[in-house]
Structure 1
Amino acid sequence: MCLPPTNVVLIIGAGPVGLLTGIGLAQQGVDCVLVEKRKRDIQATIAWPTTFYPRSLELLEQLAVADDLR
């Protein structure tokens, strides 16, 4: 039996863009792997932006995660 081909998207970097890309792909049913060079404990100490540009907010709202950041 032949299995259908599968595609997995590799996302390099778990910053805001990488995370939003992963969320968007996952919501569309696309398998993805996200890799980050920093260790998890170091990631938690990195400051995230407190202000988002209007277009960034639009993307966050499209992905239904904007309210989670407020």
Structure 2
Amino acid sequence: MTELAHCTECGKLFVQTTYDLCPSCRQELEKKYETVFDYIHQKESQDLTVSDIHRATGVEENLLNKWQEEGKLEK
């Protein structure tokens, strides 16, 4: 049975799968991650802070902190 849920980002009603985000917000989140991932790997030899990455990519610092805690920003 399908379950409807409200997106935790935009509040839009959607058919929930394994994510709490609607497809549009999930796609936007994936684009942001790809941008950050590419930037980090371009700057391979540099020590980067969350603030550095935020200034360069425009991705929110709270999201960068979350990814850092999850180990997603490892080189």
- Fold conserved (TM > 0.5)? no
Q: TM-score scaled to structure 2, two decimals? A: 0.28
Greater percentage in strand: 1
Greater percentage in helix: 2
Structure with more relative contact order (C-alpha pairs < 8 Å, separation 6 or more): 1
